[in-house]
Amino acid sequence: MSATPLTKATPVNLAYHGYWNLGGHDSGTILNHTIHIISHSYTPVDDQLIPTGQFAMVKGTPYDFTTRPRQIGSRIDEVEGGYDINYVIARKIGPLEPHLEKTAVVRDEASGRKMELWTNQPGVQFYTGNMLDSVKGKGGVTYNKYAGLCLETQGFPDAVNHPNNFPSQVVEPGHTYVHVMVFRFTAA
């Protein structure tokens, strides 16, 4: 994705909100999928899900998917409503470099499918379909809570209101916002 402001500095923070269920569209929930998120911290939110401008470490919390892949449902009951949080991507290169970093790996053992996510963005929103409620989908299947997950690479949400803590998402005229994400799928 890309965007170029014409005459004024413009906040730009695009995100792709596709839902994934590696077991198939009619296979139930994603709670048995395993996920590994390559991050050591996240941006906490208030009761309205707006980032506070702070950073928190994931180690030892229900948000910790960093040391090894873990089932999504293993600690979801410890997170009110389910996962909907922005992770800070552990970058091996400078934050302004355009190179891609591996961000997450999701697996469904039953199907043997694996998805890797790579991006040049500083954050990834992990969402577990918490608000899905009788949504009609492909082939007439009804999707309910946890039927799919989203991994939305992005700048940090609400960055414009936290300029001292979060990387700027303001793009100046003549410059181009470039957002790259690659989903790589394999099967055993």
Q: Give the integer Cα–Cα distance in Å for 30 and 148.
A: 6
Assigned token pair, 145: 């809570």
Locate 6 and state its tokens: 């014409």
Active site residue 116: no
Q: Using CA atoms, how far apart are residues 127 and 84, in angstroms rounded to an integer?
A: 4
C-alpha to C-alpha distance for 86 and 25, rounded to whole angstroms: 25
Cα distances from 153 to residues 30, 68, 88, in angstroms, run 19, 21, 10
Angle 130-34-86 from CA coordinates, rounded to 5°: 50
Amino acid at 34: T
Whether 43 and 84 have beta carbons less than 8 Å apart is answered as: no
Active site residue 101: no
Choose the catalytic residue: 99, 152, 162, 175.
152
Considering only CA atoms, which of 95, 90, 119, 89 is closest in space to residue 180? 119
Q: Which of the residues are catalytic? A: 17, 152
